[in-house]
């Protein structure tokens, strides 16, 4: 019996070890529409590693690619890896579909024209090969030789246009590896005078137009015609200007402006083109301070306009701001992009060694990968396919290929059942087979209930089938306000058609009941004894509609009280809470995440801070109002919120996004009315002129900001002091 138990435990231990080694060495997750990461099943698993450095050719000789730069998979099933060897000589390594060696290209036959008019043919070699692209139309091979245009045996006639020894070129070879065209020495009046052509990435569309990214070039993508002649630059990265810095530049001298950081756009880091001719480009110039100013990914049409669909809180830039803000690493470094199929694309985050997949709407489907934690002794393979310096990605035979420059290898990753279902559902969506699509998406939800893509596409199917109520349910789950509003628009129309007669009848009955209630109240009004507190609260109407006389009567003739003012302050705070909680989903997607204490503090703290600072300022400016008078006048001025916010809340639950201006008007009018009453009441109780009142309010606001700043500074000092004391105690305890 004991032996059986021992054998069972050993088998169990072996199974656990196996499962641990087969599992991913990282946590898989997916982002929702708010940019929050949620746990998800593994979408890919590491398949195998292809060592490029030690790969041998047909004769058993080592190829020796020590610095791979890029990878391309052709329609014919061949894989083209661009890179350099240990001697910094460029090459293109061509692999078969099973990743076995097929051919290596280290140069090309070049024909030059001598001064005497004769031609000469010789073998030209590459400098540094950074990219290769195969045209699916005729099999032509385009090779980016980033700095090879100034080699001693380069074209003599072309070198007249080469301005720097680091100039590069693009070589076009036929599918039989014969030289067809060389692009180098690019000059044009729209290009900078000191421009150096150093091609690093290239794609070609179905019409033969050539699009090139050049190293250090910040004017976007260089477009050439099929003959290799430069046409224009498209899709230049946008530059965001800081208004404060613009102001300082306007008042600074020329010498000071030259010392400031220049407004220079960044260069693109990766490029790919899909079957429809859209060009995807990545921008890796991300820092914490410039994250909001740089567009990490763009999808350009033929005119160079960006048509990428993105979400407001979760843009397809890798890890979201909510995820990396808590770390020192910063945002994702996007170095490459690949288009897959059915509108799906992926970006490579070199910083964290991750590949993020998105659908055509910019929704995160899944991610996989991580940077290396534990290299093996040969420094070639990493446990579970972890990466070190990934530089390029490519889609080939339903696998994701990732090139690692530091490990000089290709890692292949295969899809799990979870990812396969998502791809299948996307395929059915493009074929308009919605019944089959929704079935697959439901299977995805069983595997991952956090899948935003599944819920959104299920909602869209219900929307097409005119089941707007169910569609609204799914849109609300993923906080998709725009599509929720569209579905609600038609659902509301159905409600109107079904219940208009009953609603009209209820309205008539309600009007009759209100009339009867008013008559009853008027008949019994004399018998009721007026309550002082209620009468003091009702005086707020005078403040609202007689803002110049009301504050005087309130404070000088005792028409109000501090107790009534406090009741109004609490009531307004409660109304702000109701507005945050019950505003319609179309205008507030986070209604269910309301913090009660924060909503009360949002009204109470600014009011109390204003009262204290205003009393301090006006005491020095000969103001006649007491602390109590300032407090009462300020609280009574909040009453417009009690009248207009309920209307805004009701409207927000029956309106769609296109009608949102009505909701905004009510909220804006309420706030403007409050600020106007506070200003006029302040002017009246202190007996100030208009100009003096404006000056006093401005000084009060400045003092409020100063108090907030000092409070934050004090809190930081206390926190640092507490940390210091804690460290001392810990140090003493260790000794």
- Whether this model's pTM surpasses 0.85: no
Bridge pairing between strands 334-339 and 297-300: unpaired
Q: What is the mean pLDDT of residues 482-492?
A: 87
Rounded to whole angstroms, how far apart are CA atoms 217 and 675? 51
Q: What is the DSSP letter of 252?
A: S
3-class DSSP assignment, residue 278: coil
3-class DSSP assignment, residue 362: coil
**382 or 677, higher pLDDT:** 677
Output the furthest CA–CA distance in the chain (Å, rounded): 121
Q: Distances in Å between the alpha carbon of 71 and those of 38, 201, 347, 354?
A: 31, 11, 14, 17
The pLDDT tens digits of the residues spanning 35-75 come to 788 888 999 999 899 999 888 888 888 888 999 999 999 99
In this prediction, residue 392 has a pLDDT band, given cuts at 50, 70 and 90, of: very high
Q: Are 613 and 700 in contact (CB under 8 A)?
A: yes
Cβ burial of 311 (10 Å; 0-12, 13-18, 19+) is buried
In this prediction, residue 652 has a pLDDT band, given cuts at 50, 70 and 90, of: confident
Please give, one letter per residue, the 3-state secondary structure of 438-474: HHHHHHHHHHCCCCHHHHHHHHHHHHHCCCHHHHHHH
3-class DSSP assignment, residue 47: strand
In this prediction, residue 290 has a pLDDT band, given cuts at 50, 70 and 90, of: low
Q: What is the DSSP letter of 384?
A: G
**Which residue segments constitute the domains of the chain, with CATH numbers given?**
106-234 (2.40.10.500), 429-528 (1.25.40), 536-718 (no CATH)
* Residue among 162, 159, 161, 271 at smallest CA distance from 212: 271
pLDDT averaged over every residue in the chain: 83
Q: Are 51 and 383 in contact (CB under 8 A)?
A: no
The pLDDT tens digits of the residues spanning 555-573 come to 777 788 888 889 999 999 9
pLDDT of res. 25: 45
Q: Percent of the chain beyond pLDDT 90?
A: 35
The residue assigned the tokens 């979201």 is 320
């Amino acid at each position: 019996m004991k032996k059986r138990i021992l054998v069972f435990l050993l088998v169990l231990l072996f199974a656990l070890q196996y499962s641990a080694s087969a599992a991913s060495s990282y946590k898989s997750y997916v982002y929702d529409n708010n940019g929050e990461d949620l746990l998800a099943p593994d979408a890919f698993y590491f398949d195998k590693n292809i060592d490029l450095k030690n790969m041998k050719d047909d004769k058993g000789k080592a190829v020796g690619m020590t610095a791979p730069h890029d990878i391309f998979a052709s329609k014919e099933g061949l894989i083209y890896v661009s890179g350099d060897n240990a001697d910094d000589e460029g090459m293109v390594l061509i692999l078969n579909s099973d990743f076995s060696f097929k051919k290596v290209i280290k140069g090309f036959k070049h024909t030059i024209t001598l001064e005497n008019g004769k031609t000469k043919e010789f073998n030209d070699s590459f400098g540094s090969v950074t990219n290769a692209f195969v045209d699916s139309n005729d099999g032509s091979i385009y090779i980016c030789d980033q700095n090879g245009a100034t080699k001693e045996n380069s074209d003599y006639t072309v070198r007249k246009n080469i301005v720097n020894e680091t100039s590069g070129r693009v070589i076009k070879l036929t599918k039989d590896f014969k030289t067809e065209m060389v692009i180098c020495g690019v000059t044009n009046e729209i290009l900078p005078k000191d421009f150096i052509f150093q091609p690093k990435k290239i794609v070609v569309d179905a019409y033969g137009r050539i699009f090139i990214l050049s190293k250090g070039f910040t004017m976007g993508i260089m477009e050439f015609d099929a003959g290799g002649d430069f046409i224009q630059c498209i899709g230049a990265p946008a530059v965001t200007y800081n208004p404060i810095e613009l102001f300082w530049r306007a008042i600074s001298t020329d010498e000071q402006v030259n010392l400031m950081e220049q407004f220079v756009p960044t260069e693109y880091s990766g490029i790919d083109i899909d079957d429809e001719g859209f060009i995807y480009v990545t921008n890796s110039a991300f820092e914490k301070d410039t994250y909001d100013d740089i567009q990490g990914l763009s999808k350009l049409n033929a005119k160079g306009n960006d048509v990428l669909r993105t979400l407001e809180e979760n843009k397809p830039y890798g890890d979201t701001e909510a995820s990396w803000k808590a770390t020192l690493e910063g945002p994702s470094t996007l170095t490459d992009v690949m288009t897959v199929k059915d509108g799906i694309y992926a970006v490579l985050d070199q910083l964290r060694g991750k590949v993020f997949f998105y659908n055509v709407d910019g929704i995160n489907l899944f991610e996989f990968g991580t940077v290396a934690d534990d290299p093996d002794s040969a420094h070639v393979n990493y446990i579970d396919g972890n990466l070190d310096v990934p530089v390029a990605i490519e889609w080939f035979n339903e696998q994701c290929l990732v090139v690692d420059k530091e490990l000089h290898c290709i890692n292949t990753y295969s899809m799990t059942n979870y990812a396969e279902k998502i791809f299948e559902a996307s395929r059915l969506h493009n074929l308009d087979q919605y019944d089959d699509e929704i079935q697959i998406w439901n299977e995805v939800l069983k595997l991952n209930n956090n899948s935003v893509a599944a819920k959104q596409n299920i909602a869209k199917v219900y929307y097409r089938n005119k089941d707007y109520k169910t569609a609204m349910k799914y849109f609300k789950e993923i906080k998709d306000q725009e599509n929720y509003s569209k579905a609600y628009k038609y659902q509301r129309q159905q409600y109107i058609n079904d219940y208009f007669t009953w609603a009209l009848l209820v309205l008539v009955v309600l009007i009759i009941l209100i009339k009867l209630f008013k008559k009853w109240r008027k008949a019994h009004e004399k018998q009721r004894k007026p309550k002082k507190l209620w009468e003091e609260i009702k005086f707020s109407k005078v403040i609202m509609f007689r803002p110049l006389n009301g504050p005087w009567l309130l404070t000088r003739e005792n028409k109000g009280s501090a107790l009534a003012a406090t009741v109004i302050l609490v009531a307004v705070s409660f109304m702000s809470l109701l507005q945050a909680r019950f505003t319609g989903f179309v205008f507030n997607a986070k209604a269910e995440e309301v913090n009660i204490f924060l909503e009360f503090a949002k009204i109470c703290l600014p009011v109390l801070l204003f009262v204290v600072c205003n009393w301090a300022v006006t005491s020095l400016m000969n103001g006649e109002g007491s602390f109590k008078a300032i407090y009462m006048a300020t609280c009574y001025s909040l009453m417009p919120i009690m009248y207009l916010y309920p209307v805004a809340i009701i409207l927000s639950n029956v309106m769609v996004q296109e009608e949102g201006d009505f909701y905004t008007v009510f909220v804006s009018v309420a706030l403007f009315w409050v600020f106007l009453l506070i200003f006029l009441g302040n002017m009246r109780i202190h007996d100030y002129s208009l100009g003096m009142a404006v000056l006093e309010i401005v000084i009060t606001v400045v003092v409020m900001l100063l108090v907030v700043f000092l409070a934050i500074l004090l809190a930081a000092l206390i926190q640092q002091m507490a940390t210091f004391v804690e460290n001392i105690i810990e140090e003493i305890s260790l000794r």
